[in-house]
Amino acid sequence: MLLTAGGNRLREGTRGEERMMTEPYQIMVVDDDPAIVNIIETTLQQAGYRVLKASNGNEACELTGRYHPHLIIMDVMMPQCNGILATVRIRQDNNVPILMLSAKAEGTDRVLGLEAGADDYLVKPFEYSRFATALDKFIQKQNLMEHNRDLSQQKVDELLSFTNFSQNKEKEVLPSKGLQSKTLDSIRAYLNQHIGEGLTSEQIADEVGLSRVTIRRYMNYLIELKEVSSDVDYNTGGRPSIIYHYNR
């Protein structure tokens, strides 16, 4: 079973926090498997959430723009538009938290999902405790934001150990988790030499002299600043690749 009787723990863990909401959070479930959607939908509704449903990435993008859900639970493998491409499209103008689901356990698939802009990644079938932890993390962040409106987004993320990004380019404050100004300047300098070109993390890593994992973290930061946009290249002859474009 995808979800077990551990659902009782989620109801106990979130009911108290639900009382603090002015209205229930709205979560969108995106999967082309009706059985999985029904299981997740039932669990979320029992916990007090409102649920939107979509069966592919195109519907997810449309519903995100129309209803502005608080959280998206997105499967990777879907017809018409998969979860990776949908996440890239949503991330162009929306920072809604995205929890990605996949039946694939390969590390490269997980990296691709996170690189596309997902906030968390679960491999199906996953333990219910892991699913509940992801939801609890989301609720903690939302409640802290709602009840401490004078706190900055950066401060909220620091308190909850979320990766976060500054939107102020003039007085840029880098995230605390390992990003360095000198490294960022080196990456920006390289990107500035290749404006208009589509670059992979591998290409940038080779030229700048950093690991691909490091480059991906910095590129995600630049995407949040709207300095970089990204899309997915499926014509690689192998696994899809994220392509970055410098917008300066």
Note whether 123 and 27 are same-domain residues: yes
- The last residue of one of the domains, among 114, 147, 180, is 147
CA distance 27 to 230: 25
Per-residue pLDDT, averaged over 185-200, amounts to 87
Is a pLDDT exceeding 60 seen at residue 91?
yes
What CATH number is attached to the domain comprising 49? 3.40.50.2300
- The last residue of one of the domains, among 104, 132, 147, is 147
Confirm whether 132 is domain-assigned.
yes
Containing domain of residue 101, as a range?
7-147
Note whether 134 and 32 are same-domain residues: yes
What CATH number is attached to the domain comprising 231? 1.10.10.10
Confirm whether 80 is domain-assigned.
yes
pTM of the model: 0.57
> Tell me, what's the pLDDT at 134?
80
> Tell me, what's the pLDDT at 173?
54
Residues 205 and 183 sit within 8 Å (Cβ to Cβ):
no
- The last residue of one of the domains, among 147, 182, 204, is 147
Confirm whether 161 is domain-assigned.
no
> Tell me, what's the pLDDT at 64?
97
CA distance 71 to 102: 17
Residue partners of 69: CB distance under 8 A and separation at least 6: 26, 27, 28, 52, 63, 96
Note whether 49 and 120 are same-domain residues: yes
β-bridge mates for residue 52, sequence order: 28
Is a pLDDT exceeding 90 seen at residue 112?
no
How many domains, in total, are found in the chain?
Answer: 2
Residue partners of 14: CB distance under 8 A and separation at least 6: 47, 48, 135, 136, 139
Is a pLDDT exceeding 50 seen at residue 14?
no
Per-residue pLDDT, averaged over 161-190, amounts to 60
Note whether 189 and 121 are same-domain residues: no
> Tell me, what's the pLDDT at 30?
97
The rounded percent of the chain whose pLDDT value lies above 70 is 73
Residue partners of 245: CB distance under 8 A and separation at least 6: 196, 197, 198, 199, 228, 229, 230, 231
Q: Mean pLDDT, the chain, as a whole number?
A: 76
Distance between alpha carbon 47 and the CA centroid of its chain, in Å?
22
Note whether 129 and 178 are same-domain residues: no
Note whether 141 and 175 are same-domain residues: no
> Tell me, what's the pLDDT at 74?
94
Note whether 102 and 218 are same-domain residues: no
Per-residue pLDDT, averaged over 172-192, amounts to 75
**pLDDT, tens digit, for every residue of 133-145?**
788 877 777 776 6
The rounded percent of the chain whose pLDDT value lies above 90 is 23
Note whether 20 and 128 are same-domain residues: yes
